[in-house]
């Protein structure tokens, strides 16, 4: 069987698998937010950036190939990943203390995993529309990280094409493909994968917040990687853009 | 040996971080053998004197907050942003979704049961900033202690590390944003 080498460990792969596919199958954690097995890769979050034979690529879109020497869990790559996570936090209103997804949020868990303490950059404080029109779903666009998992899940799995990303640059935002642009006028239901796939607190099921006791939530019990660092240094390292 | 001087304050905070600090319970007795407090809500000192460590909870929501934060930065060798509000604005920053005028009108003119509706305008009252801001947008912050509030153990850990001359570090189980 063919294999790639991630951080010194040989990882087998099948022809057609990406680096991410092979790593996930072997239980090797490459940080990621916009990827979910079974849904086509996207390449937007950039957290899975790895060095393949000295060149930076997205593990979720790069095909695995014999002879690849891949650096993944390195201090330099994790520092860049922390900066990306900080950008995602300051671009939205990620006020975890008042979010129903806290403890169950992959973005937050990645922040913990990478030892993120602050947002570093000035806050954007976007003012994007909340859509609570649907009887059983609510859409808080201020928390959306535009991973397009809902877009892809609706299109590829649910066969409905409910969501899309509209706008350009920092004005990008999640839109609903209905005549009014409201979730209530789309045909999304709580049975759809798109209603549950959001990795953050942007798409929520109504009347189901704060049901799990603190200490029993997903990332209270599990690290996002299940291979954790012992502690987080509070030392303020010089940022690469300073 | 002279004691390490610590100042604390709450800006646009809820005093929850101070309560979490006091949640160290009897451990504060041991701490007081090494630490004396300058300006803090737990004593009567009116202004921040030259200090080793400043603990600041709360975001910046009005002109007085900015004034106090600058006083702390000028007087504290090490300034620590404590809690979600100080770090990213926290829950008070939810008002940034609205204009300041909308907030004032809702609270002082339109709210049910308002008596003598008018927006307070006495010069004694510090003016609100148009938006709530985290500390690091105004002064340099040396360390961040996340949490809403950070656990008492995290206060003990960060202060013990600093008192013993180590770079402060948190075990992963003390790191949370909520």
Residue of B nearest to A114 (CA): B172
Q: Does domain A95-233 have CATH number 3.40.50.300?
A: no
Mean pLDDT of A126-136: 96
pLDDT (tens digit per residue) in B153-176: 999 999 999 999 999 999 999 999
Whether pTM > 0.90 for this model: the answer is yes
Q: Average model confidence (pLDDT) for chain A? A: 92
Contact A117 B133 (CB under 8 A): no
Rg (Cα) of chain B, in Å, rounded? 18
pLDDT at residue B16 is higher than 90: yes
Domains held by chain B: number: 1
Do the bridges between strand A69-71 and strand A3-6 make them parallel or antiparallel, or are there none, so unpaired? Answer: parallel
B101, part of any domain: no
The minimal CB distance from B137 to the residues A103, A122, A127 is found for: A122
pLDDT (tens digit per residue) in A5-63: 999 999 999 999 999 999 988 889 999 999 998 899 999 999 999 999 999 999 999 99
Q: What is the pLDDT of residue A230?
A: 42
Mean pLDDT of B106-123: 93
pLDDT (tens digit per residue) in A65-122: 999 999 999 999 999 999 999 999 999 999 999 999 999 899 999 999 999 999 999 9
Distance between CA atoms of A196 and B116, rounded to whole angstroms? 48
Contact A95 B142 (CB under 8 A): no
Q: What is the pLDDT of residue B129?
A: 98
Please report, rounded to a whole number, the percentage of residues in chain A having pLDDT higher than 70: 93
B70, part of any domain: yes
E strands present in chain B: 4-10, 35-37, 51-57, 60-62, 76-82, 128-133, 143-145, 169-171
Q: How far apart are the first and last CA of chain B?
A: 38
List the structure tokens of A215.
């200490």
Q: ipTM exceeding 0.90?
A: yes
Q: To the nearest whole angstrom, how far is the Cα of A34 from the nearest Cα of chain B? A: 22
E strands present in chain A: 3-6, 9-12, 49-52, 55-58, 69-71, 130-131, 137-140, 163-166, 173-176, 203-205, 231-233
Confidence class for position A235, pLDDT limits 50, 70, 90: low
Contact A112 B169 (CB under 8 A): no
B51, part of any domain: yes
Q: What is the pLDDT of residue A227?
A: 42
* Interface size, chain A vs chain B, as Cβ–Cβ contacts under 8 Å: 101
The CATH code that applies to domain A3-73 is: 3.10.20.740
Contact A102 B177 (CB under 8 A): yes
The answer to whether B129 faces chain A, any CB pair under 8 Å, is no
pLDDT (tens digit per residue) in A134-163: 999 999 999 999 999 999 999 999 999 999
Can you give the residue ranges of every domain in chain A?
Answer: 3-73, 95-233
The values of phi and psi at residue A232, to 5°, are: -110, 125
The answer to whether A122 faces chain B, any CB pair under 8 Å, is yes
Q: To the nearest whole angstrom, how far is the Cα of A24 from the nearest Cα of chain B? A: 24
Distance between CA atoms of B168 and A232, rounded to whole angstroms? 9
Confidence class for position A224, pLDDT limits 50, 70, 90: confident
Which residues sit opposite A30 in a β-bridge? Answer: none
**Domain of residue B166, residue span:** 4-96+129-174
Other beta carbons less than 10 A from residue B75's beta carbon = 18
Contact B93 A94 (CB under 8 A): no
Q: What is the pLDDT of residue A228?
A: 37
The answer to whether A123 faces chain B, any CB pair under 8 Å, is yes
**Sheet containing A9-12: order of strands:** A9-12, A3-6, A69-71, A49-52, A55-58
List the structure tokens of A118.
């602050």
Q: What is the pLDDT of residue A226?
A: 67
The minimal CB distance from B90 to the residues A97, A115, A228 is found for: A97
List the structure tokens of A164.
């899309």
Please report, rounded to a whole number, the percentage of residues in chain A having pLDDT higher than 90: 82
Mean pLDDT of B93-120: 94
B147, part of any domain: yes
pLDDT (tens digit per residue) in B29-55: 999 999 999 999 999 999 999 999 999
């Amino acid at each position: 069987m063919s294999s790639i080498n991630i951080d010194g460990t040989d990882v087998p792969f099948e022809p057609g698998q990406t680096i991410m596919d092979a790593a996930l199958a072997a239980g090797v954690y490459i940080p990621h937010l916009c990827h979910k097995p079974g849904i086509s890769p996207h390449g937007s979050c950039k957290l899975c950036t790895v060095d393949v034979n000295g060149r930076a690529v997205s593990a979720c879109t790069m095909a695995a190939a014999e002879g690849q020497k891949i650096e993944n869990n390195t201090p330099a790559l994790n520092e860049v990943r922390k900066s990306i996570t900080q950008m995602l936090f300051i671009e939205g209103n990620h006020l975890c203390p008042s979010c129903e997804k806290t403890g169950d949020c992959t973005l937050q868990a990645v922040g913990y995993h990478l030892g993120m303490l602050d947002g570093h950059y000035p806050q954007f404080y976007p003012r994007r529309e909340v859509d609570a029109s649907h009887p059983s779903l609510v859409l808080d666009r201020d928390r959306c990280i535009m991973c397009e998992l809902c877009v892809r899940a609706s299109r590829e799995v649910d066969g409905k094409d409910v969501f899309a990303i509209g706008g350009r640059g920092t004005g990008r935002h999640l839109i609903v493909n209905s005549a009014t642009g409201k979730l209530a006028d789309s045909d999304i239901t709580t049975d759809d994968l798109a209603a549950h796939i959001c990795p953050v607190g942007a798409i929520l099921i109504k009347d189901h917040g704060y049901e799990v006791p603190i200490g029993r939530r997903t990332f209270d019990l599990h690290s996002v990687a299940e291979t954790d660092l012992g502690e987080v240094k509070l030392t303020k390292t010089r940022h690469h853009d300073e | 040996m002279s004691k390490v001087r610590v100042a604390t304050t709450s800006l646009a905070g809820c005093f929850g971080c101070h309560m979490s600090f006091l949640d160290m319970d009897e451990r504060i007795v041991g701490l007081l053998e090494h630490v004396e407090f300058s300006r803090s809500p737990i004593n009567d000192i009116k202004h921040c004197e030259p200090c080793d460590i400043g603990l600041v909870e709360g975001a910046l929501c009005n002109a007085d907050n900015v004034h106090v934060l600058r006083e702390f930065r000028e007087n504290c060798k090490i300034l620590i942003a404590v809690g979600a509000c100080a770090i990213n604005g926290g829950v008070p920053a939810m008002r940034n979704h609205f204009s300041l005028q909308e907030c004032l009108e809702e609270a002082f003119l339109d709210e049910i049961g308002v008596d003598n509706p008018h927006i307070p305008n006495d010069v004694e009252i510090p003016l609100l900033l148009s938006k709530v801001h985290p500390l690091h947008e105004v002064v340099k912050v040396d360390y961040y202690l996340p949490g809403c509030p950070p656990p008492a153990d995290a206060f003990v850990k960060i202060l013990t590390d600093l008192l013993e001359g180590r770079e402060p570090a948190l075990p992963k189980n003390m790191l949370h944003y909520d």
